[in-house]
Amino acid sequence: MTDKKTVALAFSGGLDTTVCVPLLEEEYDYDEVIGVTVDVGQPAEEFDEAEETAEALDLDHYVVDAKDAFAQQCLDAVKANATYQGYPLGTALARPVIAEAILDVAVENDCDAVAHGCTGKGNDQLRFEAVWRDSDLEVIAPVRELGLTREWEMEYADEKDLPVEGGNEGDWSIDTNLWSRSVEGADLEDPGYVPPEDIYEWTDAPGQKTTEDGEFETIEITFEDGYPVAIDGEEMPEVQLIEYLNDLAGSYGVGRTDMMEDRMLGLKVRENYEHPAATTLLNAHEALEGLVLTEEERAFKKQVDQQWAEKAYEGLLSAPLVDALDGFVDTTQQKVTGTVTVKFEGGQARPVARESDYAVYSESAASFNTESVDGIAQADATGVAKYHGFQSRLANEVAANAEAKKAELLTDGSGDESSEEN
């Protein structure tokens, strides 16, 4: 008698993961499927849907709270100013956290395999499997491996009387977590389609809200070693701080992105995102770095930040390269301690003031009202000004002289040829 074969499925209760349950039993010969839903800040109704669907399927269902781990990942991304093609990473940061939690449940339950309901056209399949393929468990992707379409899944669900509403999950495909909300699909797939206001839930229309006296609101964000730790002097845990800023900044219309995104598989897709807290914190953090880091540190860190964001987008923050990048980031962040005042105005979170004991700044040196500072006077810049651009001026002069000489030789040569012919 063979041992019972068990697979742990990343389970949301939506169409894709619901049809995966019987398919894993019928097509892959698994005796038992367990569903795992990981909480990274989704709306409560998504957990209700998952639990109700699991109960209807008689599915052993686990819910794992990973909000704290995910919030830490998000704030690590702030230290690295992590954006991909202009938007703050959200789903990309969440997927490895979810995958790790599912793998832990699978190992605890002596599972033989792990499975997901991702298609073969998106990024998430790669992010999940980058984590899982580092284990000894089999990795299964029914939707991709069986070439399933949305239409086929709906017909299959109807045929099997599965607990989904004909696969109708609304007009848009929405993914929500603590850090961001993405909206795609349907008419939004047309780059020329103007999205209606009702696709947005986290952000109000920009430019409409002001304070009682007609002014735009300002807040003060405190950073320690690159991490945001307090709002207006009130310390908050990571999850609470992010949720607070999502509500506040979102009410001012901060954090909307409508873009054409290049996926890892080479596809170009239209995406709409909401990320109020992420936008606010990234803007404030970069403003503080501008005060405390030297020009050379800032220039090199842009390269490091881009590499970090690329690996995060790929779901590969466990790569050895990222360990090296983190070493540089962590060193620079030892000075990123201070406060930044942010104004919410016109859908923007705009840094308007910053203070730090580590400021690489001298007001007296920069002021137009001081003549000499630390023995350095304005007149001392004369020599610098003379040398500044000297090599370029010399190169231009040499080139001009060479061209003039070349033209003179050509003229002389053509004159000689004419006289010989005559």
Which two structure tokens, joined as six digits, stand for 216?
């735009």
H-state helical runs in 220-294: 238-251, 276-292
For residue 290, the number of C-alpha atoms closer than 13 Å in the C-beta half-sphere is 11
Task: List the catalytic residue out of 16, 39, 76, 305.
Answer: 16
DSSP-derived secondary structure letter, 379: G
- Between CA 132 and CA 220 the distance in angstroms is 41
- Tell me the residue type at 223: F
Would you call 60 a catalytic residue per the annotation? no
Task: List the catalytic residue out of 95, 181, 256, 270.
Answer: 95
DSSP string, 151-216: HHHHHHHHHTT-SSSTT---SSEEEE-SS-EEEESGGGGSTT----GGG-SS-PPTT----TTSPP
On whether the CB atoms of residues 59 and 33 are closer than 8 A, the answer is yes
Strand order of the β-sheet with 181-184 is 173-176, 181-184, 268-274, 256-262
Output the known binding site for L-aspartate.
119, 123-124
> What Rg value do the Cα atoms of the chain yield, rounded?
29
Would you call 95 a catalytic residue per the annotation? yes
Output the known binding site.
10-18, 87, 117, 119, 123-124, 127, 173, 182, 261, 273
Would you call 416 a catalytic residue per the annotation? no
* CA of residue 207 relative to chain centroid, distance: 25
- Between CA 371 and CA 379 the distance in angstroms is 9
Sign of CA dihedral 98, 101, 107, 109: negative
Output the known binding site for ATP.
10-18, 117
Residue 218, phi then psi, degrees to nearest 5: -120, 150
**Which residues face 65 on adjacent strands?**
39
Task: List the catalytic residue out of 173, 187, 251, 326.
Answer: 173
- Tell me the residue type at 272: N
Task: List the catalytic residue out of 39, 124, 181, 305.
Answer: 124
- Between CA 304 and CA 327 the distance in angstroms is 10
Residues 6+ apart with CB under 8 A from 367: none
Would you call 161 a catalytic residue per the annotation? no
Output the known binding site for L-citrulline.
87, 123, 127, 173, 182, 261, 273
* CA of residue 270 relative to chain centroid, distance: 16
Active-site residue list: 16, 95, 124, 173
